[in-house]
Structure 1
Amino acid sequence: MTQDAAVTTATKDAARQGAASASPELDDATRAALDADIALLQQGSRTWSSVTVAQRVTLLRALRTSVAATIEDWAGTAADSKGLRPGHPLRGEEWLSGPYSVLGAIDAYADTLTKLSEGRSALHGVRIGRAPGGRTKVDAFPLTGIDRFLLSGFTGEVWLQPGITPNTARESAGLAQLTPSASGGVGLVLGAGNITSIPVLDVMYELLAHNRVALLKVNPTQDALVPVYERALAPLIEPGFLRIVRGGPAVGAYLTGHRDLVHVHITGSAATFDAIVWGSGATGKRRRRENRPQLKKPITAELGGVSPIIVVPGEWTDADLAYQAEHVATMRLQNCGHNCIAGQVVIMSSDWPQAEQFRAALRRAYAGAPERPIWYPGSPVRMQQASDDYPDALVLADRLLVEIGDGQDATALENTEYFAPVLGVVELPGTGQQFLDAAVEHANEKLQGTLGGNLIIDPATEKALGTGFERAIAELRYGSIAINGWTAFGFITPTLTWGAYPGNTLDDVGSGIGVVHNALLLDGVERSIVRGPFRPFPRSLPVLNGGGRFTILPTPPWFVSARTAAQVSEGLTRFRARGGLLGLVRTLLQALRA
């Protein structure tokens, strides 16, 4: 695969498709237009350095207004581009993963910058405690009354790297906003093609965490959204803090090598990353051996991986089995599996008396989810690859379920990010702490990547494990961990962080380098942890829940099985954009019918 072909999309699929033809030279007119955009951004960088933190809060409020004005066009265009016809029950995904996520991030950043502009720490009013291993943890969600109500039962923590004290955390929170006049220059953001909020959130992080204005090159899958982006982000575009460009292989190659762009951020695959950093073919291999990267500027990246779903055995009711099976199916099938955090490998106990019941419930939930187009480029090829890897896999509607049996090799399943509706199940022996420790070790050592890991455990079993449970979580080496939740909740929560577990390098990049989102602007992040309710409402009521977390949510709107997900997701986004108690009440009534 040529470097140009990889840079074309700067997404997970670019390398997977294996396109290999040489790209054409960039024509003079396009080069001149790109140079002009970069020159404007250089001026914009100087302007940004003169904008005070208080003035940046005002800018964020203007940005919020312009984003709120586009939410219907944004969600509709995104759904149409993915083949979700009007009335399709999964169109709600595009409300939550698009404008809802961006509006939440703007609000959270505005709160952080307001504190800083008033001379307070970005962590003023945020509880800081201790996590296993002497780590400092920040209780980063919920921080508002509306989140405590609407998302009751869910909490989020950011664990900082060992050695960072609470005082250091408070003093360093704010990142580049602690020195707002120090310019970060002009950076390049190579936008993702699967989730429509990602390019916007990455641009915001460049601007606020690094004081770096951005040239955003959209993925070709997002071309239809460019007019929406331009209207939504006008408050950033007009003063020269952002430019948005389209383009093919030659544009990507030209920009990554441009001398006036000081940094690259990419959401993509490790193969794409390597093609940009080292080059492709024999030349790239030689450069890697000689440690001579062709990229002469820093790069950060979010690169996906194979995400585990660890199911800890316990005594579950039939309703628990059905609900958690739908939960697992959602982790794989949301956005048709075209997600860097789509759960791919279920790790369960072969000694669990209810193992076969759960397998049966999972087959039903996986097959019963609404059908939708496999829309992402290259996905049919990867589906065929999975079929070739596992010819005995169950074909359920437009999706594959791979149940690894005795003597079968799980290597392909555990090391290939299919980025398509392919879910696998592997079994390990043991119960209780023995199983949990083995499952954590298996996820750490056998599965490719360290981006996100999921774990499902009932309240009684978690209580019985005691400190052993928290010790196991500390051993699970992922940048985002969800306990009785899905790591997508961490992605959509702006005050949590998103990125690989730290320690990757240019030569061995794994799931990436650095973090994004992180609206508290924390320094020295190790991971974020989401904790959610094992049971939905009304089974979350204390008398029925065995000491588990209470939540007002029945089937959450992000579940692919939620019957009113489209209406609830749209209603929540409209409430986030414009408020309105009556509309929220209508949305909550719809949620009760999910």
Structure 2
Amino acid sequence: MASIASPAAASALADAERAKLDAAIEDLRTGTRVWTGLTIGQRRTLLRRIRAAVVAVAEEWADVAATSKGLEPGHPLRGEEWLSGPYAALVALDAYADTLGALARGASPLDGLKIDEAPGGRVRVHVLPIAPIDRLLLSGYTGEVWLQPGVSAADAVRTAGLGQLARGESGGVGLVLGAGNVTAIPFLDVLYELLAFNRVSLLKVNPTQDVLVPVFERALAPLIGPGMLRIVRGGGDVGGYLTTHPDIDHVHITGSVTTFDAIVWGRGADAAARRSAGEPQLTTPITAELGGVSPIIVVPGEWSDADLRFHAEHVVTMRLYNSGHNCIAGQLMLLSSDWPQREAFLAALRTAYDAAPRRSVWYPNGQASVAAAASAYPGAELSDDGTRLLVHAQGEDAAAIETTEYFAPVLGVVELPGVGQEFVDAAVAHANDRLTGTLGANVLVDPVVQTALGDGFERAMAQLRYGTIAINAWTALGFLTPTCTWGAFPGGTLADAPSGIGVVHNARLLDRVERSVVRGPFRPFPASLSAGNLAAGGRPSVLPKPPWFVTARTGAAVSEGLTRFRMDGNPARLSVTLLQAFGA
């Protein structure tokens, strides 16, 4: 997460440091003129050059990132850094290049995509799968972008392209305060600023990613050379200086709401006075992605033993991926107290939580967050090495875990009464009204129950006020799918932005987005192809356990293999990777 200092602390910067930052911003003023002078075709060519640069540094990127997080060679979770680093960068570059290619031909980025109606009369665009390879590598998974109420299909087609529809206009110089947890985020934020808003960027990396600056500089060299990007290091003093710099036209931050508030309102008594008067210290426009407490709604049904084990591992992955240092992490499971299989599922969950590979709580203050949660819940189950906590809370006792984003391996369970539609509606209301944030919500529901609920289930999903909803999937799929959007549910303001303002990724450059919805198969291969699953309305899939599961034995090899396939398109490499996937 980004950090910021007070203006007073920022003023303590040495003259030489301020001069260096000023020079970088001046370089970017030149870069704005270069960017606005490029044709759509030339911009697409520039993306291809960036892609080649990413391919050249991909292995180093994944290795440096993994090592910096304590994942030494041979660790079973090193694949995380392939997927959330170079893989995410490559698929985004390809998707943006497709969009620019369509615009260069005089077509819409939505040509060829299915557009239909979502609940509440909303328009939705089906953005996954698009290419045949999507149907293989993400078999059984789909993605949709829902637009805000009142946006018509014609509006969607007409406005798709955002800044690229006004190629000669400049969005000025933006400051990107990079995230410190996932290495692709700063890279992707820079791309979105450029393509959605024609805005060049000064990227200040989080100190946790200082070791990756040489990798970023080579991967983004095609932007750095002509002055469309500058990368700087520094702590809160540098951030404080830059956010108040008169030549910065926009700020984008991926971080915590605490940091956001410090940027917008300042700190201490002065900040309170500004809030009361409605006069923020920040006069520059800002967008942000700020995390939150993400729910995992488990809809009761009749699950097999294999279903219980699979989704226990699914929930554990949502919490333990990247050691829980994810705004995308599932933090609070909402479980039916009336589900006959409640105890069986909790037993499977404890087994999976304990069996997941050990790793360090590496993010600054992460272990302190685990300790704070353990202090708030002295009866919680703490692992033998003290690195992960399972909290079972109820009623007012659940307030801390419902309102505190621990950003660490802390998983909560809250039980609600009911089954069927009664439970779904209660869980949706609880998530909306009790949990902090509107970033991502996960829902697990077996096909028999989902089919029986029918339109009632879809209406309930429409009521969930979250920017990404994952049904029988994890919201990370929405994050990694470049044609989906990622960000808070609309409505955040400077005074109240629990998960931020605006969206990123959005490779088709859609305007007036409300949310993304991703859907996956309830059962993996081979159970997904069983007659019973298909007859019940289950999604067919040829995929076994997904490689991003923290319990996938071959996850590291498969994640690297998928990235290398995205690098070179070698079908022989893909065949080997798919065979490895079946060993998960």
TM-score band, normalised by shorter chain: over 0.9
User: Shift in Å at residue 547 of structure 1?
Assistant: 2.5
DSSP 3-state at the match of 1:69 = helix
Paired residue type of 2:165: L
Select which of 386, 401, 415 maps to 2:390: 401
SS at match of 1:62: helix
Query: Offset of 1:396 from its aligned partner?
Result: 2.1
Aligned residue number for residue 242 of structure 1? 229
Query: Of residues 549, 561, 568 in structure 2, which corresponds to 1:559?
Result: 549
Structure 1 stretches of at least 4 aligned residues deviating more than 2 Å after TM superposition: 19-24
Identity of aligned residues (%): 65
Cα offset, 1:304, TM superposition: 0.2
Q: 1:378 aligns with which of 331, 341, 365?
A: 365
Partner residue, 2:322: 335
The equivalent of 2:538 in structure 1 is 548
SS of match in other structure, 2:527: coil
The C-alpha deviation readout for 1:526-554, integer Å capped at 9, x for no partner, is: 00000000000011104142321111110
1:580-591 alignment to 2 at 5 Å?
A: 580-591=570-581
* Counterparts of 1:591 and 1:122, CA distance in 2: 33
Alignment equivalent of 1:413, drawn from 396, 401, 404: 401
Match of 2:307 in 1: 320
Contact 1:137 1:160 in 2 (8 A): yes
Residues 39-91 of structure 1, C-alpha deviation per residue, up to 9 Å, x if partnerless?
A: 11000001100001111011111111000111100000000000001100000
Distance in 1 (alpha carbons) for counterparts of 2:344 and 2:298:
13
- Whether the 8 Å contact between 2:10 and 2:238 is mirrored in structure 1 is no
Q: State the secondary structure of the residue aligned to 2:270.
A: helix
Where do 5+ consecutive residues of structure 1 fail to align? 1-8
For residues 9 and 501 of structure 2, the distance between their equivalents in structure 1, rounded to whole angstroms, comes to: 28
Instruction: Report if aligned partners of 1:150, 1:552 keep a CA contact under 8 Å in 2.
Output: no
- Name the CA distance, whole Å, in 2 between partners of 1:589 and 1:131: 37
Deviation string 1:497-521 (CA, Å, 9 cap, x unpaired) is 0000001110111100000000000
- RMSD between aligned alpha carbons? 1.4
Closer, same or farther: CA 360–20 of 1 in aligned 2, 3 Å: farther
Cα separation, 2, equivalents of 1:155 and 1:71: 27
Identify the residue that residue 60 of structure 1 maps to in structure 2: 47
- Structure 1 residue aligned with 2:336, among 349, 363, 386? 349
C-alpha separation in 2, matches of 1:248 and 1:533: 43
Q: Deviations over 1:348-395 (max 9, x none)?
A: 100000000000000001111000011000111111110111000001
The residue type equivalent to 2:406 in the other structure is: Y
Q: Structure 2: which amino acid aligns with 1:59? A: L
Query: Which secondary structure does the structure 1 equivalent of 2:201 belong to?
Result: strand
CA distance in 2, matches of 1:378, 1:243: 29
How big is the shift at 1:23? 6.2
Structure-1-length-normalised TM-score: 0.96
Q: Which residue of 2 aligns with 1:275?
A: 262
Question: Who is 1:3 aligned against?
Answer: none
What secondary structure sits across from 2:103 in the alignment?
helix
Alignment match, 2:100: 113
Flag the 1:25–1:482 CA change in 2: closer, same or farther, 3 A.
same
Map 1:86-235 onto structure 2 (within 5 A).
86-235=73-222
Q: Which runs of 5+ in 2 are unaligned?
A: none
Partner of 1:4: none
- Once residues 33 and 166 of structure 1 are traced to their aligned partners in structure 2, the CA distance between those partners, rounded to angstroms, is 48
Matching residue of 2:494: 506
Q: How many residues align?
A: 580
Q: SS in structure 2 opposite 1:156?
A: strand
Give, in whole Å, the separation in 2 of the partners of 1:32 and 1:310: 51
Which residue pairs with 1:521 in the alignment? 509
Which letter maps to 1:557?
Answer: P
Q: CA deviation at 1:22?
A: 5.2
Q: CA deviation at 1:104?
A: 0.3
User: Who is 1:437 aligned against?
Assistant: 425
Contact 1:542 1:548 in 2 (8 A): no
1:47 matched to 2:39? The reply is no
Alpha-carbon distance in structure 1 between the residues aligned to 2:323 and 2:276: 38
- 1 CA distance for matches of 2:498 and 2:34? 36
Aligned CA distance change for structure 1 residues 51 and 23 (closer, same or farther; 3 Å): closer
Q: Deviations over 1:95-148 (max 9, x none)?
A: 000000000000000000100011001111111000011000000111111011
Contact 1:302 1:499 in 2 (8 A): yes
Q: Deviations over 1:160-196 (max 9, x none)?
A: 0000000000000000000111011100000000000
How far apart, in 2, do the equivalents of 1:241 and 1:21 lie? 30
Contact 2:9 2:240 in 1 (8 A): no
Whether 1:490 aligns to 2:478 is yes
Kept after mapping to 1: 8 A contact 2:7/2:241: no
Equivalent-residue separation in structure 2 for 1:300 and 1:330 (angstroms): 29
1:70 to 57, 67, 73: 57
